Amino acid sequence: MNAKRLIAHRGDNTNYPENSYAGIEAALRAGALFVEFDVQMNADKSLVVIHDTDFKRTANNPAYLFETGDTKMRTISVHEPSKFGERHYPTHVSFLSDIMALFSRYPKAQALVEVKRESVWQWGLDTFMKPFLEALKGHEAQSIVISFGLDVLEYTKKHSKLHTGFVFYDYETSNLDIAKKLKPEYLICSYTIMPKDTLWQGNWKWVIYSINNIAEAAKILNRNDVDMIETDDIVLLLENN
């Protein structure tokens, strides 16, 4: 399939722990031109690449991210033991700076960086967004800021020239109204809520997630109104040319 229409969801998370340096690097090495990953802020106000606000699912560790600083975080292995056993032990949480440095080695690739609302709620919009946008300086051409949080996208539009993506749970006209106001470059939703007929039209690209089956991927990409799909199995879809 066309790599320009595929997004690796949390890296190559079929073969590696999600959001890990190894998984993101594997996706890029396989030829992914778009990789999505999540960013939170820990107790030391460091920007880290992780989806959850705790380590229960990824490390079988009850530690709470917002009470965990850099030193303690480095002792936790997010190798997803329930999924991979000890195959990827140890896997440490990556810092955003390390992941963006990795993208610099793949200048044709773009990062869809999802700002998790939980961190914004915990620390405040300015506290999170100022260092976040600073961390993306020098990487503007490779960075797309995505979020469910409207405040995050509005802040990004106001304080930078970065492209944005609005992610939403419900295909409702209220979200169309928000999209018209925000003018994001991307609209992103689950395939489970997309309509059978035409998606909302506008000056944006449509991203549908998460498609992990070749036949389903081909079916959705054959729609004239879908631009890209997000997948957990980027290697499988890239190999299906």
Instruction: Using DSSP bridges, classify how beta strands 54-55 and 61-64 pair: parallel, antiparallel or unpaired.
Output: antiparallel
Indicate the SS3 state at residue 2.
coil
Question: Kindly report the CA angle at 148 between 162 and 126, in degrees rounded to 5?
Answer: 60
**Residue 222 falls within a domain, yes or no?**
yes
> How large a percentage of the chain has pLDDT more than 90?
99
pTM over 0.95: yes
> Coil, helix or strand for 199?
coil
In this prediction, residues 152-161 reach a mean pLDDT of: 98
In a domain, 67, yes or no: no
Inside any domain, residue 223 = yes
Of 134, 44, 128, the C-alpha closest to 93 is 44
Nearest to 51 by CA among 26, 80, 29, 74: 80
176-224 pLDDT tens trace: 999 999 999 999 999 999 999 999 999 999 999 999 999 999 999 999 9
What is the C-alpha to C-alpha distance for residues 17 and 79, in angstroms, rounded to an integer?
Answer: 6
pLDDT tens for 88-124 read 999 999 999 999 999 999 999 999 999 999 999 999 9
235 inside domain: yes
Taking residues 73-89, report their average pLDDT: 98
Q: Which domain holds residue 218?
A: 3-53+94-239
How many whole angstroms separate alpha carbon 116 and alpha carbon 41?
9
pLDDT value of position 44: 98
Does residue 69 fall inside a structural domain? no
Where does the pLDDT of residue 241 fall: very low under 50, low under 70, confident under 90, or very high at 90 and above?
Answer: low
State how beta strands 110-115 and 143-147 pair.
parallel
Q: The domain that contains 110 carries what CATH number?
A: 3.20.20.190
Residue 62 has pLDDT above 70, yes or no: yes
Mean pLDDT score, 9-37 = 98
Residue at 21 is within a domain: yes
Q: How far apart are CA 57 and CA 50, in angstroms?
A: 11
d(CA 53, CA 70): 14
Q: Which residue do the tokens 């003018």 mark?
A: 183
Mean pLDDT, range 166-185, rounded to an integer: 97
101: its two tokens: 């440095």
The pLDDT, as a whole number, for residue 14 is: 98
pLDDT at residue 138 greater than cutoff 70: yes
Question: Quick one: 46 exposed, middle or buried, by C-beta within 10 A (0-12, 13-18, 19+)?
Answer: middle
Number of domains the chain contains: 1
Whether pLDDT at 36 is above 80: yes
C-alpha–C-alpha distance, residues 62 and 171, integer Å: 34
Residue pLDDT, tens place only, 120-134: 999 999 999 999 999
pLDDT for 1 equals 85
Residue 166 lies in a domain: yes
Domain contains 64:
no
Residue type, 237: L
pLDDT at 240 over 90: no
